[in-house]
Structures are given as structure tokens and as C-alpha cells.
A = this chain, B = another copy of it.
Amino acid sequence: MELRVDAKEMQTVLNQLFLKYGFSENKAILLSETFTENTLAGINSHGVNRVPVFIEYIKNGIVKIDAEAKKVQTFGTIERWDGGLGPGIVNARKCTSRAIKLAKKHGMGLVALRNTNHWMRAGAYGWQAAEAGCISILFTNTKPNMPAWGGKDSRIGNNPFVVSIPRNEGHVVLDMSLSQFSFGKIHEYDLKGQKLPYVGGWDKHDQLTKDPKSILGNERGLPIGYWKGSALSMVLDMLATLLSAGSSTYKISSRVHETGVSQIFLCIYPKLFGDDQLQQQLVDEIITYTHDVAPMKPGDRTYYPGERALANTIENSKNGMTINKEIWESILAL
């Protein structure tokens, strides 16, 4: 069962919930805004649907409500921060802000954050940077959920990765994990009784499969581009880990819950070159060239990265967000 909830209502409910569980007023606002923003963008799996799990992590102390991310080291345009195992959203908002500030001063800024928690929707921070006029390249490591190419067991993370580019007529925001399908998506196909359109992971006989049931439970997702995504996952894990002096997917794998992850926030401020209008034209030129084209198959169409998130946000702001009734009721009962 689904129902429609208005953004303002969701934000008020979540704000009260986070206050009830001990967050400061500022943090409660930041959290409720971000969970709502993610749901408005149509990413319920990293919006409203995650709230009950987030509260559970608060209750069992995995997420420390009073922790404040702190700068531990700095050199020129690069800084290391420690998240103190605080809420991932709060830490990521802070580190994105900091990278934006560094970029506006130096042209570029990088914050490497260790000891943080799940930042929910990676794209949220890409939008944040773009709103501030910054390009961003952001990524996080995760627990292992894909085999390194050639290996049997999951030993690399799907390490969500964001590139955002500010644009007057709608920011360009690529927000993707390195697995061909997220486990949330695979679960959706399973619930609908459908096969995946392409292979998405290995079954228990070590065969690549489109059958969601055979992939779920195993947690052996397929990296995008097979050996290529596998290698990309490794280098992102290395960068996040060594730059933050934090935990790698290996270290995260030794914990019962996914916590203490490492993240990178890199911002670039392109307006400093003083030709913003030309830059906008160049980006629009790429969008125009790829966008309204003859489709591969009747009914196909192309999108620029971020186009659908923006359309969802506009649509859901007007008509309310369609969410799962049971999840909403479970939140109201928390």
C-alpha cells in the first residue's frame, strides 16, 4: 500500500522524531531536510525508507548523536577530518560545505573524512555543491558487496560515486554506485516478480544471473563493466582510505554493522575563470547533442545525469511524495 505525503509534513514529523531521539535542533533540521530531499528526488530507498534503520543505529549506539566532525590535519587545499562515528548526513553536509569553502578560496578543495556513517543518498551532497556553484567529485567506501573480478567472495564495495556540475537550467548530477544494480533495486524487481533486464550478480553456483532471488542473500553484486568496475572500486577505496587515514572496505568488513566508513569530498570552483556563460554553453552543447536524438528502440529516450531527480523533485513538491504506507506508519510509531 502506498500513500502520498507532503514534503512539509514529512519534514515536520522527522524533525520531531530526531528531536525526540536526542539530536540538537540544528542537527534535527539538517537530518529531516535531507531525508525529505532524498524522498522528494524519488530515491525513497535512501530517504524515508531508511529512517527506521537510522533510528535503530541511534538506539544501539552505532551512530553517535553528539559526535561532531573535527578537522585533524590540513595541508593547503587538503584537509583530513574525523567524523567521530556521528550521523553520516550531518558529517557529509559539513565536509561538503568545507570543501566548497576551500574551493572558493583556492580553486579546489578536498576533505577526506574518516570514521563516519552512511551518508544515505550520495547525490544530495552533489546537489549541495552545485547549488553553491561548485563542481564536485564525491565518493564513499562501503562494506564488501561485490567480488573483486576473478575472486569468489565479496571483497570490494559498490562505493557510491558522484560527479556534479552546476548548471543554470538544472544541475548535472551523476550519482551512481559501482554495482550494476543496487540491492534495493534488485529487491524491487523481486517484489514485482520480474527478472533484471541484465545480469546483476552471481547465484550460488557462481553463475551470473538476471534472477533477483538468486542474487539476494548472496550479496555478490556485479561491478559495472565487470573487471573495470572492480578495479574502479578498489582505487576509490584506496583513495578514501589513504587520504583520510581511515578504514578500508577490509576494515569495515570486520564489523558487525557497516560503520566507520571513509569518504572524499572534492570541490572545484569553475566561476573563478570568469567565463561562466561560456562554460554553461559548453555544457548545454553536450546535453543538446546527446539528448533529443533518434532512440535505439521506439520509446527509448536519453537523459542527462540528474534530469530525473530534478523532475521528481518538482513533481513531488507539487503533488506530494508517494511512499510505502507501512514504513510511514512505522515511523509515526517510533
Contact = CB atoms under 8 A, between A and B. Distances in A.
A218 interface: no
Contacts of A275: 245
Contacts of A286: 234, 237-238, 241, 248-250
A62 to B, nearest CB: 23
Interface string A47-64: 000000000000000000
Contacts of A224: 224-226, 228-229
Contacts of A155: 289-290, 293
A110 interface: yes
Interface in A243-265: 243, 245, 248-251, 253
A206 B75 contact: no
A235 B172 CA distance: 8
Interface residues of A, number: 81
Contact of A297 (B80, B206, B239): B206
A7 to B, nearest CB: 26
Interface stretch (A23-31, A101-109, A320-328): A101-109
A279 B245 contact: yes
Contacts of A237: 286
A252 to B, nearest CB: 11
Interface string A136-159: 010000000001111111011000
Q: How many copies does the complex hold?
A: 2
A272 B76 contact: yes
A301 interface: yes
A222 to B, nearest CB: 9
Contact of A75 (B135, B198, B202, B272): B272
A148 B290 contact: yes
B176 A228 contact: yes
Interface string A207-241: 00000000000000000111011111011111101
Given A155-B293, A165-B239, A250-B286, 5 more contacts: A107-B110, A153-B294, A176-B228, A224-B226, A245-B275
The 10 closest A-B pairs by CB, nearest first: A224-B225, A76-B107, A78-B107, A250-B289, A148-B290, A151-B293, A150-B302, A75-B272, A150-B300, A242-B279
